[in-house]
């Protein structure tokens, strides 16, 4: 009896990122020059988007430490603005994915993703755009309501946040129950 067993090679996170980077670069090389140029410009814009996040974080951190010298309402407003600062990057990544027809269009830190091209890349692209706009709207309203001390709006937003957190916790518990079976 001759049995053959195929053992799948387990990649480390670094190897998986390199493989993803290679797939992306090979895909982009096959595209027309205009698409390649667009890809280069979008990478620069996305780097600027990451810079906006860093600047918002530094500003919020500074306000937190300088609480005696500034209007205290600026501290929570700055932290809400920090959350909103991720939205332009999300929208840019979504737009990049839609036009390049590849997802992910850039390699970001975190969980390594599967490389998808064609129509399969459109859903995550639209998802990033819609998520970025929703985050900007919700947390932007939170920042505005905090800055203007609009208690009616804050009450509504806090209620929405509470419902969202409850749903998230129940979903996590439900997932753990299903995995334990």
* pTM flag (> 0.85): no
User: Which residue do the tokens 């600027």 mark?
Assistant: 48
Report residue 8: phi and psi, to 5°.
-75, 135
The confidence band for 37, taking pLDDT boundaries of 50, 70 and 90, is: very high
Question: In this model, does residue 8 exceed pLDDT 70?
Answer: no
Query: Is the four-CA dihedral 59, 168, 17, 93 of positive or negative sign?
Result: negative
Other CB atoms within a 10 A radius of the CB of residue 43 amount to 14
Average pLDDT over the chain, rounded to whole?
A: 91
Q: Which of 135, 149, 146 has its CA nearest to residue 53?
A: 135
Residue 113 confidence (pLDDT)? 83
Rounded average pLDDT over 95-104: 94
Query: Is the four-CA dihedral 138, 86, 109, 20 of positive or negative sign?
Result: positive
The DSSP letter of residue 7 is -
Q: What percent of the chain has pLDDT over 90?
A: 78
Rounded average pLDDT over 105-125: 88
> What is the rounded CA–CA span in Å between residue 180 and residue 147?
45
The confidence band for 46, taking pLDDT boundaries of 50, 70 and 90, is: very high
Per residue in 123-153, pLDDT (tens digit) is 999 999 999 999 999 999 999 999 999 999 9
> What is the rounded CA–CA span in Å between residue 74 and residue 181?
48
Residue 9 confidence (pLDDT)? 55
Report residue 87: phi and psi, to 5°.
-65, -45
Other CB atoms within a 10 A radius of the CB of residue 151 amount to 9
On whether the CB atoms of residues 76 and 115 are closer than 8 A, the answer is no
Instruction: For residue 160, give both structure tokens.
Output: 């929405």
Instruction: For residue 41, give both structure tokens.
Output: 């410009």
The confidence band for 108, taking pLDDT boundaries of 50, 70 and 90, is: confident
The kind and range of the H/E element at 121 are none
Question: In this model, does residue 4 exceed pLDDT 70?
Answer: no
Residue 42 confidence (pLDDT)? 96
């Amino acid at each position: 009896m001759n049995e053959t067993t195929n053992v799948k090679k387990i990649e480390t996170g670094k190897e998986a990122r390199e493989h993803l980077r290679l797939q992306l670069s090979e895909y982009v090389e096959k595209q027309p020059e205009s698409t390649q140029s667009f890809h280069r410009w979008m990478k620069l814009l996305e780097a600027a988007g990451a810079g906006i996040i860093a600047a918002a974080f530094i500003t919020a951190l500074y306000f937190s430490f300088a609480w005696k010298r500034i209007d205290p309402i600026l501290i929570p407003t700055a932290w809400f603005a920090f959350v909103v600062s991720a939205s332009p990057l999300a929208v840019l990544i979504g737009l990049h994915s839609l036009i390049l027809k590849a997802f992910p269009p850039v390699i970001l830190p975190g969980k390594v993703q599967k490389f998808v091209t064609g129509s399969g890349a459109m859903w995550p692209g639209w998802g990033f755009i819609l998520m970025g706009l929703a985050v900007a709207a919700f947390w932007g309203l939170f920042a505005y309501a905090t800055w203007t001390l609009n208690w009616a709006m804050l009450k509504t937003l806090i209620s929405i946040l509470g419902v969202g957190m409850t749903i998230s916790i129940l979903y996590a518990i439900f997932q753990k129950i299903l995995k334990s079976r």
